[in-house]
Amino acid sequence: MPAADDGPRAPGWLTRLAAAATRMAVPDALIPPPSGGRRSAVLILFGEEAAGPDLLLVQRGPWLRRHAGQPAFPGGAIDAADGGPVPAALREAAEEALVDPAAVDVLTVLPELFIARSGFSVTPVLAWWRQPGPVGPGDPDEVTAVCRVPVADLADPANRLTVRYPSGQAGPAFRAADMLIWGFTGLVLDRLLALGGWEVPWDAGRVTMLPPQTLAAPGGGPADPAPSAPRA
């Protein structure tokens, strides 16, 4: 998927990550079943500033029916008119975070990941933000905040922890940009840090239960370690 003529081309660190991510191993629990699921896509949008690479995340509204209050990649269900996961991911990023699709170069798509609790079969779309612009909640009823999170903050061992869910299962989590990032998003970030060569030793034994306020939010009571699927 070639870059546009205007703006910088994707840096080497990102093209190497894109190549590695296409071969990302999918845990057995996240392999889509033969019947598939509701097809959806998320945009994993990397940018770069003077301090280094960053990723775009949104914070979902605390009143939503599903995945209330959770940090996530922009994304949602693939509509028939989209024509596939790439157009869907770009459309959702524009609707949720005001990202200009013309300023984005899609590099690759990652293997599908299935989230049993919500029935979503999610295709992550990895992209380079060639010309970053202003972002914000496109629909404040669905998204309360949009932020660019530095990769260095995610990789910092002080910001990494393990979250335990009511089911007893656990998954990787991060504290960054005043957010607790967990569930599906936390799992994907954990793999991207490793594939990108950014991961440094951290204390996986630092375990915390999901905060009560998260469990109390409408639609926010997960039963498994991968609850942060795209919205319907």
Residue type, 123: T
In the chain, % of residues over pLDDT 70 = 84
Q: Is residue 41 over pLDDT 60? A: yes
At 212 the pLDDT is 66
Q: Is residue 227 over pLDDT 80? A: no
CA distances in angstroms from 38 to 21, 64, 173, listed in the order given? 22, 19, 25
Structure tokens at 155: 């990789």
- pTM of the predicted protein model: 0.89
At 219 the pLDDT is 47
Q: Is residue 23 over pLDDT 50? A: yes
Write the pLDDT tens digit of every residue in 89-116: 999 999 999 999 999 999 999 999 998 8
Q: Between these two residues, 71 and 225, which has the higher pLDDT value?
A: 71
At 118 the pLDDT is 79
In the chain, % of residues over pLDDT 90 = 71
What class does CATH assign to 12-216?
A: alpha beta
Q: For the residues of 94-154, what is the DSSP string, one character each? A: HHHH---GGGEEEEEEPPPEEETTTTEEEEEEEEEESS------SSTTTEEEEEEEEHHHH
Write the pLDDT tens digit of every residue in 48-79: 999 999 999 999 864 444 554 689 999 999 99
Model confidence at 127, pLDDT cuts 50, 70, 90, reads very high
Q: Is residue 145 over pLDDT 80? A: yes
At 231 the pLDDT is 39
Structure tokens at 173: 């989590």
